[in-house]
Amino acid sequence: MNHTFLIKKIRDHCIEHANESNVVKYSRYFREGYDAYGLSQPQMEAGAHKITKLPGISLPIVLEAAPELLKSGKYEETGLLLLLTRILHKQYLPETFGEIAGWYKIGIHNWAHADTLGMAILPLFLSKGLTGMEDFKPWLMAENRFQRRSVPVTLIKSLKTHTDFQLLFDFIECLMTDPAREVHQGTGWFLREAWKLNAPVTEAFLVKWKNTAPRLIFQYATEKMTPEQKQNFKREKK
Give the C-alpha separation, 28 to 25, whole Å: 7
Does 166 fall in a domain? Answer: yes
Interval 96-101 mean pLDDT: 98
At residue 181, φ and ψ (nearest 5 deg) are -55, -40
**pLDDT for residue 217:** 98
225 located within any domain: yes
pLDDT of residue 52: 96
pLDDT band at 237 (very low <50, low <70, confident <90, very high): confident
Asked whether the beta carbons of 77 and 18 are under 8 A apart, the reply is: no
Please state the rounded mean pLDDT for residues 148-166.
95
Q: How far apart are CA 202 and CA 51, in angstroms?
A: 43
> Which CATH number goes with the domain that contains 182?
1.25.10.90
Q: What is the pLDDT of residues 204-234, one digit of tens each?
A: 999 999 999 999 999 999 999 999 999 999 9
Amino acid at 161: T
Residue 162: what pLDDT? 87
Residues 6+ apart with CB under 8 A from 43: 17
Supply the pLDDT for residue 1. Answer: 84
As a whole number, mean pLDDT of residues 52-63 equals: 96
Tell me whether residue 67 is exposed, middle or buried, using C-beta atoms within 10 angstroms of its C-beta: 0 to 12, 13 to 18, 19 or more.
middle
CA 46 to chain centre: 21
Residue 28 lies in a domain: no
What mean pLDDT do residues 157-181 have?
A: 95
Confidence of residue 32 (pLDDT cuts 50, 70, 90): confident
pLDDT band at residue 46 using 50, 70 and 90 as cut-offs: very high
What pLDDT shows up at residue 76? 98
Measured distance CA(135)–CA(137) in Å, rounded? 6
Residue 43 inside a domain? The answer is no
For the chain, the domain total comes to 1
Q: Could you please report the per-residue DSSP string of the chain?
A: --HHHHHHHHHHHHHHT--HHHHHHHGGG-TT--------HHHHHHHHHHHHTSTT--HHHHHHHHHHHHHT--HHHHHHHHHHHHHTGGG--HHHHHHHHTHHHHH--SHHHHHHIIIIIHHHHHHTTSS-GGGGGGGGG-SSHHHHHHHHHHHTGGGGT-S-HHHHHHHHGGGGG---HHHHHHHHHHHHHHHHH-HHHHHHHHHHHTTTS-HHHHHHHTTTS-HHHHGGGSPPP-
pLDDT in tens, 67-93: 999 999 999 999 999 999 999 999 999
Q: How far is CA 15 from CA 20, 27, 74, in A?
A: 11, 18, 11
Q: Is residue 150 part of a domain?
A: yes
Quick one: pLDDT band at residue 172, thresholds 50, 70, 90? very high
Look up the domain containing 196 and give its range. 132-238
Domain assignment of residue 72, yes or no: no
* pLDDT (0 to 100) of residue 127: 96
Q: Are the beta carbons of 195 and 175 closer than 8 angstroms?
A: no
Is residue 235 assigned to a domain? yes
Nearby residues of 142 by Cβ (< 8 Å), 6 or more positions away: 104, 148
Region 11-25: mean pLDDT is: 97
Q: What is the pLDDT of residue 132?
A: 96
The rounded mean pLDDT for the chain is 97
Query: Residue 238 above 80 pLDDT?
Result: no
pLDDT at 63 over 90: yes
- Asked if the structure places residue 16 within a domain, the reply is no
